Structure 1
Amino acid sequence: MTVEIGLVLLIIGLALYLFASEKFPLDVTAFMILITVTAIPLLFHSQWLVDRGVDLKSAFPTVSEGLSGLSSTATVTVLAMFILSAGIQRSGLIHKLGKLLAPWMDGPEWRQLAIIALLVGPVSGLINNTAAVAVAIPLILDMARSSGSQASRMLLPLSFFAMMGGTLTLIGTSTNLLASTLLAESPEFGREIGMFEFTGVGAIVLATGLAYFLLFGRWLMPERDRIKLQDEEAERFILEVSVKPRGGLVGKSVSEAGFAERSGAEVLRLVRGDDSRVKRAETTRLKVDDVLHLRATRRQIADLIKSDDLEVLSEFGPPRRVRSDGHLARLLLRNDRIFKGNTGKRVDFWQRYQARLVGLEVDRVRARRLADEPLGVGEIVLVQLSATSLEKLRRHPDVVVLDSFEDDFDRRRMWAAGLIVAGVVAGATLTPLPIVITALMGVVAMVFCGCLTREDLYSGVAWNVIFLLAGVIPLGIAMTKSGAADWMGGLLVATAGDWHPLLILMALYLITTLLTEMVSNNASVVILVPVAISIANLLDMAIFPFVLVVMFAASTSFLSPVGYQTNTMIYGTGLYRFTDFAKVGAPLNALLMLVTCTAIWGFWL
């Protein structure tokens, strides 16, 4: 071992310690690595060391190489994919797909798991899997509430399926893009990985994960649901909707149309002229301008506002209809002179506050129409208003703004956003253009189509991931230039050189899995892709399968909530114990190590 290799390994050891201990944020640690490997040859290189065989300049990245992570195709592509994912999320396309599948969730647990896998898995291959989980979490909670299932038994599979779905395509996870860039920069391989070059293995991985949960894994998940959904239930509002003339509910009863299952709203009363029906509200065939009393959450109300079948009534009657944009805010009424004993119609929220009164947060209403229901000080109401009016209302003495909810789903741009992402994938697959160029073209297209605002271009990006990528890439350069990758690869070959190639792949898979749990998926790829290339060269075998093993192992490490971002996201939401991940994930990791390595060996070796 040379001095240069020892110094690089020392930096790796310190980096592993900082990543694992999280003494600093991961992106800060990554930038400390960038500064260290770039500054060492500038500060300590000397002729005296060169005369003694220590050449730091040739072993560490130059300034340009040290900063290359900021302009790396992997970094830029991940940045573009985050923005595209924000456009998909803002359009409501994933939410729409979830709502379409919601009626199927009211069934046995195995069917719910299959639906989650079939929805989140493929979506995670087309957009960043972290974004897919962020969109899917509220859908899973809604589905669990409506079906009466345990949310904690759905969120863990959600994260795992998203991770496995990310292995379907090159753009499914930043790990794949980073490995592709490292391969393209290596003289032994010299090209990027194709968009669907390993999709066959990814499909096997996703199918194996689904079979595992259906046959075995669901028995290992937490038996008791620690998630309390009652808090959101307590924030349900009673509102009024009228039946639109050309809507799909005319001539059908609420139960026949499956309205409750599709919307999640509870039907309380049907009002037709002077007639009011409670018991037969769900079975009476609806006519134009019939009024329904519903109980729903703000998310469900936001969906109802954009419904083609119903019109959400503001101040519980004409002339103002609720618009399809703006904020939904909860207000605590506190002006005794204005609200005590007055109805919403008499108060006239629009005239006083430029806000449309939408619903009442009460257990029940006594009046036949909500317009006749008296208000009171201390009660909570739901209003819709613009951002400007909301800021003014926060300073108004009549009310207290408890919180607000912005419906950022833009249904008009839904299919445009979906087609743009499909075009990005098709362009990278069917034309000579690399994925980084088609992804940037997709970002521009989303801006021109109105799918994204200028603010979305920045707020939709997980900048800590971008900086993490930019910071760890120079470490991979140092490993290659110093010879540390060849040294580590030589150790593994010396130990396992006589083994069957499948066993060597499995050993590399296991090392990557354990390293990912200590640091992060991207850091482990930067460290081990050069090692994988070295091992392949020493064994005189193809490079690609060894790098694929590192990619798949880094993207499917399930042992803890800190090894992958999607696990971290559902860890707090699902109120899991740290050991829940290892309990469910360790058998799946062992199974995928066997299945993935066997598939890669069968396809490429």
Structure 2
Amino acid sequence: MSWQAWAVVAIIVVAMALFASEKLRIDLVALVVLAALVVLGIVSPAEALSGFSNEATVTVAAMFALSIGIERSGVLEPLSRLLIRIRRPWLLTLAFMLAIAPMGAFVKNIALVATFLPLALRVCQRTGTSPARVLMPMAYAAQMGGVCTLIGTSSNLLTDSLAQKYGLPAFGVFEFTGMGVLLAIAGMAYLMLVGRWLLPRHIDADELEEVEIGKYVTELALTAQSPLVGRSIGEAQLGERYGVYPLELLRGERRMWSPRSQQMEAGDVLLVRGDWGKIEDFQRRAHLHNVPESRYVRDADHPRVLTEIMVAPASLAEGRRLAETDLGRRPDAVVLAIHRRGQVLRDKLSDVSLAVGDVLLVLVDEDSMPQLRGDDAFIVLSERDDARRMSRKAIVAAAIMAGVVVVSGLHWLPIPVAAICGAAAMALTGCFGRKDVYEGMDWKIIVLLGAILPLGTAIEKTGLSHEVAQAGMGLVGNHGPLAALLMVYLLTALLTELMGHNPSVVLMVGIAASVAHAVHADSRPFVVAVAFAAATSFATPVGYPTNTMVYYAGGYRFTDFMKVGIPLIALFCALSMWLIPKFWPFHPG
């Protein structure tokens, strides 16, 4: 191989490590990859910028806008009110999957799961059902629905765009539907008949509240009347007496060097961790006051609500401190405590940089709850029932989305043009506000697509795709196109779990086309294998954003996804090896 090909290999390895480690945001990793390709002269500046004008990037942006219109206008409210009546756990799981999978074919998966996640948690709490029994199937169903249409997920659109670069005709909006529906039926049957026995049983609704989301970190200041004044933390035995655990002792801006032996003074701030009920009891008995709550702007005319919210995937709040977010700047809301799964925070709340999955305990005016629900940066996990009805705007939004699907499905307009027209129509009819579409847009995905697409060009220009295909064929041997198709599917599935669905598509479409050429078969079934393997990531909580959302909210372990997801991937792989050649023959007549 040439030095350029080896350089691309090195860039890919580093990118995979960064994607898997999550130490850098995915869009920043993509920009680093793009910069490296340009600096090394592997792609030209024009090729480097071509990803941002690519049809897939434009279409995904427009589809995000359409999903925001569907979500904000209340189209899903009638279905939510129907689901909340279900009491049987097995029926609840099935109902959520049957509701979400069809909508996942047209609505952004993250928006769907974010909408139904609070509802699922409330129903589970009312019925005594473990959320862990419901949330993972719900996330998987969103993916199963997304793969059923070309516009259901960004990786399908990306696959179609890259395939056209290799001379393949464009895929139709519903070309994946036949196979996608069969896989979805099989997947839901597996989850109901087999997966339900693999889902964790050790977590019930009460245990989840106490063990997972219940362990908050907050700041409590000592008053002059506190019995703790003049005593050390070690002497006070807070854990034994109150059930809360001190982390730090802060005096002004200083952290005390030896907090357990340092005598406490009035005005000192204790950073403590524990169940919120025990923290409140400790605060009352020890005459302390909550430091964040002292900054709350009280209004006697507006009742207050205590609610839990989670930092959403792709949230604008990720990586920012509270004061840098819209939530931190609001006078009618205050964050009282923070919980971070698998980590004990030891910083003042104002100094904590928020991460995806953080759960915040927020005190907010009841009148401000609708605004908090509409903030795409957070997902409200616990809230009062919402009595909204389906509005005229909801009907308009649903009609516009249906129009986009029909117009693009009948090839009256190209998909990007139809999606842009639909987004403009929603804006003109008031389905979302002037700022909603910009604030709710998943810009990280847009930048990721635009910046990572030139990597596919580099793989092709340097001959790396041909080299990888030849190496793969050496492993497969002379076992025909079906064995080669299996190799492409499994490699794509593995890369997806490591680095996400969109980067794996960029890497694999060119390789799939080269493999098809090597076995003298049509490229279309191999590209379809890439699309389906990339869009159905079940084995890890980091392979797909919906998995990440339920991972934090459901209290799952990493291995829970492996136990349930790996057999499901194997089932999808086996069925795909049977179905793909039937829908897209290796040697079309």
TM-score, scaled to structure 2: 0.70
Q: CA separation of 1:392/1:201 partners in 2, compared to 1, >3 Å: closer, same or farther?
A: closer
User: Which residue is 1:239 aligned to?
Assistant: none
User: Which residue is 1:195 aligned to?
Assistant: 173
TM-superposed deviation, 1:393: 6.4
User: Which residue is 1:368 aligned to?
Assistant: none
1:406 paired residue among 361, 366, 370: 370
Contact 2:128 2:204 (C-alpha < 8 Å) held by counterparts: no
Contact 2:69 2:431 (C-alpha < 8 Å) held by counterparts: yes
Code of the aligned partner of 2:32: M
**Rg bigger for which structure?**
1
Question: Residue deviations 1:432-481, cap 9 Å, x none?
Answer: 31111111111111111110111111111111111111121010010111
TM-superposed deviation, 1:92: 1.6
User: Which residue is 2:338 aligned to?
Assistant: none
Question: Residue deviations 1:216-262, cap 9 Å, x none?
Answer: 1100001022555769xx9xxxxxxxxxxxxxxxxxxxxxxxxxxxx
TM-superposed deviation, 1:183: 1.0
1:97 paired residue among 79, 103, 109: 79
Question: Is 2:397 the counterpart of 1:417?
Answer: yes
TM-superposed deviation, 1:561: 0.7
The whole-number CA distance in structure 2 between the counterparts of 1:393 and 1:21 is 37
Code of the aligned partner of 1:577: R
User: Which residue is 1:429 aligned to?
Assistant: 409
* Structure 1, unaligned runs of 5 or more: 42-59, 235-351, 362-386
Question: Is 2:555 the counterpart of 1:591?
Answer: no
User: Which residue is 2:227 aligned to?
Assistant: none
User: Which residue is 2:489 aligned to?
Assistant: 509
User: Which residue is 2:155 aligned to?
Assistant: 175
Contact 2:305 2:364 (C-alpha < 8 Å) held by counterparts: no
The whole-number CA distance in structure 1 between the counterparts of 2:23 and 2:330 is 38
TM-superposed deviation, 1:583: 0.8
1:69 paired residue among 44, 51, 55: 51
Code of the aligned partner of 2:66: L
TM-superposed deviation, 1:498: 1.1
TM-superposed deviation, 1:128: 1.5
Code of the aligned partner of 2:64: F
SS in structure 1 at match of 2:435: helix
The whole-number CA distance in structure 1 between the counterparts of 2:70 and 2:332 is 31
The whole-number CA distance in structure 2 between the counterparts of 1:146 and 1:68 is 51
Contact 1:80 1:440 (C-alpha < 8 Å) held by counterparts: yes
Code of the aligned partner of 1:526: V
Structure 1 outlier segments of 4+, above 6 Å: 390-395
The whole-number CA distance in structure 2 between the counterparts of 1:356 and 1:425 is 44
Code of the aligned partner of 2:370: E
Code of the aligned partner of 2:462: S
Code of the aligned partner of 2:437: L
User: Which residue is 2:548 aligned to?
Assistant: 568
Q: Mapping of 1:196-275 within 5 angstroms?
A: 196-225=174-203, 227-228=205-206
Question: Residue deviations 1:39-61, cap 9 Å, x none?
Answer: 211xxxxxxxxxxxxxxxxxx32
TM-superposed deviation, 1:108: 4.7
Contact 2:109 2:142 (C-alpha < 8 Å) held by counterparts: yes
Q: Mapping of 1:356-395 within 5 angstroms?
A: none
The whole-number CA distance in structure 1 between the counterparts of 2:127 and 2:425 is 39
Contact 1:61 1:478 (C-alpha < 8 Å) held by counterparts: yes
User: Which residue is 2:505 aligned to?
Assistant: 525
SS in structure 1 at match of 2:369: strand
Question: Residue deviations 1:122-170, cap 9 Å, x none?
Answer: 1000111222111111121122123332211100001111111111101
The whole-number CA distance in structure 2 between the counterparts of 1:19 and 1:393 is 38
User: Which residue is 1:143 aligned to?
Assistant: 123
The whole-number CA distance in structure 2 between the counterparts of 1:143 and 1:587 is 28
TM-superposed deviation, 1:96: 2.2
Question: Residue deviations 1:463-515, cap 9 Å, x none?
Answer: 11111111210100101111111111121123224114323222211111111
* Structure 2, unaligned runs of 5 or more: 215-297, 307-325, 335-361, 375-387
Question: Residue deviations 1:295-319, cap 9 Å, x none?
Answer: xxxxxxxxxxxxxxxxxxxxxxxxx
The whole-number CA distance in structure 2 between the counterparts of 1:466 and 1:579 is 31
TM-superposed deviation, 1:412: 3.0
SS in structure 1 at match of 2:479: coil
Q: CA separation of 1:112/1:488 partners in 2, compared to 1, >3 Å: closer, same or farther?
A: same
Code of the aligned partner of 1:107: R
The whole-number CA distance in structure 2 between the counterparts of 1:101 and 1:25 is 35
RMSD (Å) for aligned C-alpha atoms: 2.7
User: Which residue is 1:251 aligned to?
Assistant: none
Code of the aligned partner of 1:418: A
Contact 1:424 1:438 (C-alpha < 8 Å) held by counterparts: yes
Question: Is 2:88 the counterpart of 1:107?
Answer: yes
The whole-number CA distance in structure 1 between the counterparts of 2:478 and 2:415 is 39
Code of the aligned partner of 1:550: V
TM-superposed deviation, 1:101: 3.2
The whole-number CA distance in structure 1 between the counterparts of 2:94 and 2:332 is 46
The whole-number CA distance in structure 2 between the counterparts of 1:114 and 1:564 is 21
Q: CA separation of 1:67/1:391 partners in 2, compared to 1, >3 Å: closer, same or farther?
A: closer
SS in structure 1 at match of 2:84: helix
Code of the aligned partner of 2:479: W
Contact 1:121 1:161 (C-alpha < 8 Å) held by counterparts: yes
Q: CA separation of 1:150/1:538 partners in 2, compared to 1, >3 Å: closer, same or farther?
A: same
Q: CA separation of 1:427/1:216 partners in 2, compared to 1, >3 Å: closer, same or farther?
A: same
TM-score, scaled to structure 1: 0.68
The whole-number CA distance in structure 1 between the counterparts of 2:504 and 2:40 is 22
2:442 paired residue among 453, 462, 473: 462
TM-superposed deviation, 1:360: 9.6
Q: CA separation of 1:62/1:432 partners in 2, compared to 1, >3 Å: closer, same or farther?
A: farther
2:137 paired residue among 114, 139, 157: 157
SS in structure 2 at match of 1:126: coil
The whole-number CA distance in structure 2 between the counterparts of 1:360 and 1:549 is 49
Q: CA separation of 1:221/1:440 partners in 2, compared to 1, >3 Å: closer, same or farther?
A: same
User: Which residue is 1:44 aligned to?
Assistant: none
The whole-number CA distance in structure 2 between the counterparts of 1:13 and 1:394 is 44
TM-superposed deviation, 1:431: 3.2
Question: Is 2:7 the counterpart of 1:29?
Answer: no
SS in structure 1 at match of 2:40: helix
Code of the aligned partner of 1:555: A
User: Which residue is 2:346 aligned to?
Assistant: none
User: Which residue is 2:430 aligned to?
Assistant: 450
SS in structure 2 at match of 1:223: coil
TM-superposed deviation, 1:36: 0.9
Question: Is 2:28 the counterpart of 1:8?
Answer: no
Q: CA separation of 1:391/1:491 partners in 2, compared to 1, >3 Å: closer, same or farther?
A: closer
Q: CA separation of 1:391/1:465 partners in 2, compared to 1, >3 Å: closer, same or farther?
A: closer
Code of the aligned partner of 1:197: E
Question: Residue deviations 1:528-584, cap 9 Å, x none?
Answer: 010001111121211111011111111112111111111111111111111110011
The whole-number CA distance in structure 2 between the counterparts of 1:217 and 1:230 is 24
The whole-number CA distance in structure 2 between the counterparts of 1:392 and 1:562 is 35
SS in structure 1 at match of 2:43: coil
